[in-house]
Amino acid sequence: MTAAHGEQSAVRVFYACVLPLQLRPEVGEIARATARRVHGRPVPADNLHLTLAFIGEIASSRLPTLIDVGAMQRGGAMTLVLDRLGGFKRAGVAWLGSSRPPVELGRFAAALARALVAAGIARDERPFHPHVTIARRCHVSPDEQPIGPYSWGIDGFELLQSETGREGARYRRLAKWPLTIEPEHPER
C-alpha cells in the first residue's frame, strides 16, 4: 500500500529496552550458538532487546501520542539479571530471561500499558513476561537451563519502529528516555 498523503501511512512500533553495547558480543554469541543447536535464526546482536509493550501497526499520525506517553513515564534504573535460557515452543523462539526479574520492571510495564489505554492506544493484551529473544524459527525448543548470569543495568527505554526487510527485522529508534528517577522514599 502506498501512502499518497503521508498522514494515512502505518508504522509497526513497540516500546523496548535495548541490550547495552557491553553485553552484545557475549549474548550475541549465545544467540548464534543456541540458533545452531535448535536449527533457528539467531537475532543479530544489535537487535537484542526486551519488549515492554507491543503496539503493532498504527497510523503514523498517532506517533506524537506514543512519544507523549513515553515521555510521561517515570522510573529509576534497575538491574535485570539474565540467568535463564529457554524457549517458547509454539512461537519457535529461544530467549534469555531472569529467575528473579525486578518488581519495578513489571510495575513499569504495567504503568506504560495503563497509560497507553488511557491515551486510547489499543495494544496487545498478552501478559508481560520479560525476556530477550535470541533466536527465531527454532525447530527445537531448548530445555530451560541456567546461563550467565549477565547483569543488565537498565537505565532507559525506547520507542522503536520495526521494519521487516529481506534479511529480517530492522528496528529504527523513534525516541529514547532515561530511567533515572531516584525513589522519593528509599527502602531501608
Active-site option among 5, 49, 139, 185: 49
Residue with cell 530511567: 179
* Sign of the CA dihedral running 140, 141, 144, 150: positive
Nearer to ligand ATP, 54 or 177 (CB): 54
> Cell triple for residue 44?
543479530
Of 67, 92, 136, 156, the residue at the interface with ligand ATP (CB under 6 A) is: 136
Backbone φ and ψ of 58, nearest 5°: -150, 150
**Minimum distance, C-beta of residue 50 to ligand ATP, in the bound complex (Å):** 8
**Minimum distance, C-beta of residue 185 to ligand ATP, in the bound complex (Å):** 33
CA angle 14, 18, 19 (to 5 degrees): 150
Of 15, 18, 42, 51, the residue at the interface with ligand ATP (CB under 6 A) is: 51
Q: Note whether 128 binds ligand ATP by CB under 6 A.
A: no
Of 133, 135, 158, 179, the residue at the interface with ligand ATP (CB under 6 A) is: 133
Q: Note whether 12 binds ligand ATP by CB under 6 A.
A: yes
The one-character DSSP state at 62 is: G
> Cell triple for residue 18?
535495548
Strands 132-136 and 93-97: antiparallel
Whether the Cβ atoms of residue 31 and residue 96 lie closer than 8 Å to each other:
no
Q: Note whether 46 binds ligand ATP by CB under 6 A.
A: no
d(CA 157, CA 162): 15
The window from 61-69, 73-81, 150-158, 160-168 that contacts ligand ATP (CB under 6 A) reads 160-168
Residue with cell 499518497: 4
Of 14, 15, 108, 157, the residue at the interface with ligand ATP (CB under 6 A) is: 14
Of 1, 164, 183, 186, the residue at the interface with ligand ATP (CB under 6 A) is: 164
* Sign of the CA dihedral running 148, 103, 178, 63: positive
Q: Which residues are catalytic?
A: 49, 131
Binding site for ligand ATP (CB under 6 A): 12, 14, 51, 54, 124, 126, 133, 136, 162, 164, 168-169
